[in-house]
Amino acid sequence: MSASANAARRRELTLTRIFDAPRDLVFRAWTDPAMLAKWWGPRMFSNPVCEVDLRAGGEILIVMRGPGGMEHTMKGTFREVARPAKIVFVNNAYDASGTQHLEGLTTVLFAEEGGKTKLTLYTIVTGLTDLSEMMMAGMNQGWSESLDRLGEFLQEAS
């Protein structure tokens, strides 16, 4: 594959949000499987499987189910866990047949700001298949909807 083709299959995204919730709660919402399952993924998606082994080298597994019933699997490994300030994890996307389409590395920072939490998400994703380009095109919307859902979850949990 040429260098320009590789560049076309790589995307970076940074999103920042302020949540009116304590940093510890926002961190737990990202790392407690029961909480994570309630907000992860785009709108209209559910998470019938959500497993988190919160430690460096521990694994994360989330199976998202879309409104039509199609399932999308995200498997990864935590690279860094600095409670309650930072998590870094590999996040790889697979289809129902087990084909890996995306390879990602996501860093989430949690900063306390006057009783609220500033969350900064930085992700870099590399597409591995032709289908990955379509998946990456929706990356901004998908992460934005996830963070919107997180905000709604935190309002109910506070």
Q: How many domains does the chain have?
A: 1
With the CA atoms of 39, 43, 48 and 49 taken in that order, what torsion angle do they form, in degrees rounded to the nearest 10? -60
CA distance 60 to 91: 8
- In the structure encoding, which two tokens stand for residue 149, read together? 């859902």
CA distance 158 to 33: 18
What pairs with residue 102 in β-bridges?
Answer: 93, 127
Residue 31: give the domain boundaries. 3-157
Q: How does pLDDT run along the chain (158 residues), one tens digit per residue?
A: 444 444 558 999 999 999 999 999 999 999 999 999 999 999 999 999 999 999 999 999 999 999 999 999 999 999 999 999 999 999 999 988 899 999 999 999 999 999 999 999 999 999 999 888 888 888 899 999 999 999 999 999 97
Phi, then psi, of 84 in degrees rounded to 5: -105, 35
Q: Quick count: other Cβ atoms within 10 Å of Cβ 101?
A: 20
Query: 150: which DSSP letter?
Result: H
Query: 20: which DSSP letter?
Result: S
CATH number for the domain spanning 118: value is 3.30.530.20
Write down the pLDDT at residue 8: 56
